[in-house]
Amino acid sequence: MTATATDQATDRAIDRSSPVAVVGTGTMGQGIAQVALVAGHPVRLYDTAPGRAKTAADAITARLDRLVEKGRLSAGDREAATARLAPAETLADLAGSDLVIEAVLEQLDVKQRLFRELEDVVSDACLLATNTSSLSVTAIGGALRVPGRFVGLHFFNPAPLLPLVEVVSGFATDESAATRAYDTARAWGKTPVRCADTPGFIVNRIARPFYAEALRVYEERAADPATIDAVLRECGGFRMGPFELTDLIGQDVNEAVTRSVWESFFQDPKFTPSLAQRRLVESGRLGRKAGQGWYAYGDGDERPEPHTAAPERAPVAVAVAGDLGPAAALVELIREAGIEVRETTPHVSARSGYLELPDGTWLQLTEGLAATSALRPSLIHFDLALDYREAGRIALAPSGLAPHDGLAAAVGLFQALGKKVSVVRDVPGLIVARTAAMLVDFAADAVSRGVASADDIDTAMRLGVNYPVGPIAWGESLSASWVRALLEALHLEYPSARYAPSQALIRRSETQKASRP
């Protein structure tokens, strides 16, 4: 976008001299108020509990003091900001606000009642916004006399630090209101993305497989939480594994979001919650805040180590049969490790390329089927990596008939490439591959349904949950055909609609096939 266009867009934002009101003074409310305050607005805080708005204002002032101490805010700016911050005793005190953002309990009737009351206080030109993360923006706005000026502004916690804001248009939201909200968030230094009112919006909708696939692998006893976390971090490139991340979020919070999205999609199998997580919540093991979740957080408790194979001798040579697809970079890495690479003709039964070890064992990137389901008994699957050169760990899944010498050679081969190796139980799609494929499919489906643009989805997933790459971009690098084939194989292994590829992914893969010379 040109500088001129940017200036014009910013002109549509709420003017900095205009008051912004925040209703609800919990963690999110305080964070949003701080963002608006630092951006230059007069900010009014309101809470139904007597005295809570004053307490919140004091807490925000204390955080601004810490920013001054750290050199991130000047003393003068701090004084000006605190002068603009005012607790409100009644909703009537919010009259004259040009923007009101609600951050109260996630209960539909509570939010609807609040906004009906606000409509009697503010002008019809005032932009009304909800910070809901799980409720329908359309349903909340449906109670309003002027629903067109109602929009979702979903900040991420902690709001002053995380850049992403989902700007959600309900069914009745005017385009001008969504644009005004978008430009205001951008003027506040945030990175806004637009999305339609769909369960979970962008991030909480598309992120479900990151948790769900790890939980399913665990439920099948293919690997323990520490190993699954390590593989997704060190091989998949994710900043945190799903078990440690849900412990941080709170198991009850994460499970509630999953259940809400599942119920909102009329119990679609793709969003089915985990029984293992439900049992964890029922036991009170809610994560760090409870001192126990998937991991223990008491004094002296140590994080369990992931399963890591003992050192093995690398083979002196391997044969490459056919195209390794997304794992093609391994060939050069093997050569760089001083291991001879020979080329051989793929066996007629091979569905894709593979490495052949000296004893005849095949080492193949997972295709979605369990290794034991394949026709060849001497087969070991390895997992997908975001970047095989940078990956610090790889997961291997041998078939039930794979020879010990073949497995030892496979372990030694990857160790020679500088990778730690986790040998897991033979599970279809392994860990990273099935997770990545589902994320790609969810994202493609969301684009096709008009939830958000491809660029906004990738931006949201990178900034909202720190994914190493956006799922749309990841799908492009893997190819829609590869992702579709892996999901179709998973669908054969688990015959339900959970892994059936979306029509959007199928169309994309067919387009790719048609475009090949």
What 3-state DSSP class applies to 266? Answer: coil
Neighbours of 353 (CB within 10 A): 18
Catalytic residue among 204, 260, 378, 509: 204
Distance (Å, rounded) from C-alpha 368 to C-alpha 427?
9
Instruction: Tally the residues of the chain.
Output: 517
Task: Assess whether 131 carries a catalytic annotation.
Answer: no
Q: With CA atoms as reference, report the closest residue to 301 among 224, 222, 226, 240.
A: 226
CA trace torsion 151, 155, 184, 182 (10° rounding): -60
Contact 34, 77 (CB under 8 A): no
Catalytic residue among 133, 254, 422, 481: 133
Runs of H (alpha helix) within 70-202: 75-84, 108-119, 137-141, 175-187
Close Cβ partners of 473 (under 8 Å, ≥ 6 residues apart): 458
Tokens of 436: 């990545």
Task: Assess whether 154 carries a catalytic annotation.
Answer: yes
479 burial class (0-12, 13-18, 19+ CB within 10 angstroms)?
A: middle
Tokens of 12: 């549509």
Close Cβ partners of 46 (under 8 Å, ≥ 6 residues apart): 21, 22, 23, 25, 53, 87, 88, 90, 91, 93, 94
Distance (Å, rounded) from C-alpha 5 to C-alpha 12?
11
Contact 430, 393 (CB under 8 A): no
What 3-state DSSP class applies to 94? Answer: helix
Catalytic residue among 102, 166, 213, 356: 166
Contact 470, 456 (CB under 8 A): no
Catalytic residue among 41, 154, 307, 381: 154
Give catalytic residue positions: 133, 154, 166, 204
